Amino acid sequence: MSKPKKERAGGVVVLVVVLVLAVLVGGGWAAAYAGAGDKLPRGASIAGVDVGGLTPAGAENTLRDGLAERIERPLEVTVDGSTESFDPALAGLAIDYAASVEAAGGGRSWSPARLWEYYTGGDDMDAVVEIDEEEMEAALSALEGSLGTPAKDGGIRFVDGSVETTSPVTGRGFDRDAAQDALVRAFLAEDAEPVELDVVELEPDVTEAEVQEALRSFANPAMSSSVRLRFGSAYVRLQPDQFSEALAMKAEDGALVPHVRIKRLTRLVESATSGDGAPVDATVEVVGGTPRVVKAKPGISFEPDDVAAAFLEVVVKPEGEREATVEGEVTQPEFTTRDARNLKIVEEVSEFTTNFPYAEYRNTNIGRAAEIIDGTLLKPGETFSLNDIVGERTRENGFTEGFIISNGIFKEDLGGGVSQVATTVFNAMFFAGLEDVEHKPHSFYIDRYPVGREATVAWGSVDLRFRNDTDYGVLIDTELRRSTPSSQGALTVRMYSTKVWDIESITGNRYAFTSPATRTLDTPDCYANSGYGGFSIDVTRVFRRVGESEIARREVFKTVYTPSDTVICRPPGSLDR
């Protein structure tokens, strides 16, 4: 059944009225939305800076300008009557302007609450402060160091095989969290009032009880005796006064924890081994005038972390259990410590010294050759070769130019003066009673050398060689005193072994004299010389067993010296050819 016509007309009127009212209200709402936009509430301020009604971008700029002077000023911090300046920027304090504006209420929304807040609301909000925790912690530590007394942890350190302790000390400072909050408030405050921090006692993390526990459980047992590390068939024994430098105790979570300094421990193990994985033969050296065997070292390849772990485990064990096995590859030396002792190099068997006049080239060349020869070890049956040991006399090998004898006259060449070394070594060999294999005297006699008992050398042609024909090793030791413009230099060569022979040298009379010639030269390298005659001479080496008077044998060295010609130098190219 349909409604009456009058009722239908009344319903349409109501609908029209409602629609008209909706349009009117909607228009106002839209206008309100358009007016608010994304601006901050009209009453908004941040840290006292008015930003009401501004867009977020405008509010950020206004906030930057308003806080610029405030955030750049230093703060005054007072602790127990003492004051220190505090720079907020160095402490990692900064303003997050975008986040501050967002928190103050910016942003678009059709929400009635948002529109109501824009037109009627807005509060003073704190700015959002960013804090760099590391920089803040460093700044507070510095401040506490200036205005307080830091707490000191108890500690233990190892020195020369003994244990030293440090007692903990209570400090005076301030509560870090409270200090940070107070500094942030002052950072934002409009008035630059000093920040007063209350003094508190700062307890150390490592107390005396922790020190005593570390002494009992680790430090004292560690220093009680030696530790032995076994690598296969080789082992290394380390004494407390050696390995103490490789140990430490570090504070961790309020306790002292054992720590191995791996590099130092590795150096200790390497000093007892070859250090590079290859074995090192035993040898002999002279210490304080006495020969001493230098022990062989096995070659050991190992991982430092494995050594450290094994060492740390065994170092606290009681006597008799302080040995650890470490994985490693071991190579034994060919010439062992026993082999070196069996050489029986126990005493000086000969010594000889020659002097030389000042010349820097002599200091250089004699010194370099003597340095290379020093420590040469001859085993029974081995032959010494000066050229093989010293090598070619080059600048790369440490030599310089000096005078030599060439074709009966003086010339300059690399290595001049090395014959001084050859002569000194030859005489030490002579009185040690070793077998002469090869030696060549100078072509003419030089009066600073023993007549008939001297030697020269030249790379590639003339060598000094002798053989150790005894049952014992022979160690050669050299000592140089450099010459100066006012004093002669001296080279001493000593040989160490077990003495077999008492040697006597008998020098005969000179004979078969020859006269010098005169040479006139116009070469650029001419050196004038006043000549003298040549002659022949015999030197006899007499062998007697040590402590016996009977002569065992004789050996004659016959030397023929040519004349040293007189040399007259003329300007280059002046002589007719």
- Summarised one tens digit per residue, pLDDT across range 432-478 is 999 999 999 998 898 889 999 999 999 989 999 999 999 999 999 99
Q: How far apart are CA 224 and CA 322, in angstroms?
A: 10
- Per-residue pLDDT at 113 exceeds 90: no
Q: Could you tell me the CA-to-CA distances from 187 to 50, 89, 124, 184, 542 in Å, in that order?
A: 18, 10, 16, 5, 101
| Arithmetic mean of pLDDT, 20-24 | 43
- Per-residue pLDDT at 102 exceeds 50: yes
Which range among 121-130, 196-205, 392-401, 446-455 has the greatest average pLDDT? 446-455
Query: Comparing 368-382, 407-421, 469-483, 521-535, which segment has the lowest mean pLDDT?
Result: 407-421
List of domains in the chain: 29-146 (no CATH), 209-341 (3.10.20), 343-569 (no CATH)
Q: How far apart are CA 495 and CA 490, in angstroms?
A: 17
Across the chain, mean pLDDT equals 85
Here the tokens at position 507 are 């020098």
Residue 73 contacts residue 192 (beta carbons within 8 Å)? yes
| Arithmetic mean of pLDDT, 551-565 | 93
Closest-CA residue to 94 (of 50, 135, 142): 135
| Arithmetic mean of pLDDT, 54-74 | 85
Which range among 327-331, 483-487, 517-521 has the greatest average pLDDT? 483-487
- Per-residue pLDDT at 204 exceeds 80: yes
| Arithmetic mean of pLDDT, 284-293 | 93
Q: What pLDDT, in 10s, does the model give residues 372-393?
A: 999 999 999 999 999 999 999 9
| Predicted pLDDT of residue 18 | 44
| Predicted pLDDT of residue 57 | 85
| Predicted pLDDT of residue 37 | 58
Q: Which pairing describes strands 45-46 and 124-125: parallel, antiparallel, or unpaired?
A: parallel
DSSP H helical ranges for 189-325: 208-214, 220-222, 240-243, 262-272, 304-314
* Adjacent-strand bridge partners of 228: 237, 323
Q: What pLDDT, in 10s, does the model give residues 146-173?
A: 777 888 999 999 999 999 999 999 988 7
| Arithmetic mean of pLDDT, 484-502 | 96
Query: Which residues 6+ apart lie within 8 Å of 347 measured at CB?
Result: 291, 496, 497, 498, 499
- Number of residues assigned to the chain: 577
Name the helix (H) or strand (E) containing 143. Answer: helix 133-147
CA 355 to chain centre: 41
| Predicted pLDDT of residue 25 | 44
Q: How far apart are CA 18 and CA 11, in angstroms?
A: 11
Closest-CA residue to 524 (of 457, 570, 472, 465): 570
Q: How does residue 29 score in pLDDT terms, banded at 50, 70 and 90? A: very low
Q: Is the pTM of this model over 0.85?
A: no
Query: Which residues 6+ apart lie within 8 Å of 88 measured at CB?
Result: 71, 74, 75, 183, 187
Q: What pLDDT, in 10s, does the model give residues 225-248?
A: 999 998 887 788 999 999 999 999
| Arithmetic mean of pLDDT, 392-398 | 91
Three-class secondary structure of residue 6 per DSSP: helix
Residue 441 contacts residue 427 (beta carbons within 8 Å)? no
* Adjacent-strand bridge partners of 551: 544
Residue 297 contacts residue 273 (beta carbons within 8 Å)? yes
- Per-residue pLDDT at 15 exceeds 60: no
Residue 553 CB-density burial (10 A; 0-12 exposed, 13-18 middle, 19+ buried): exposed
| Arithmetic mean of pLDDT, 559-577 | 81
Three-class secondary structure of residue 72 per DSSP: helix
Give 54-57's long-range contacts (Cβ < 8 A, gap of 24+): 55/106, 56/98, 56/101, 56/102, 56/106, 56/107
| Predicted pLDDT of residue 293 | 94
| Arithmetic mean of pLDDT, 59-81 | 84
* Adjacent-strand bridge partners of 559: 537
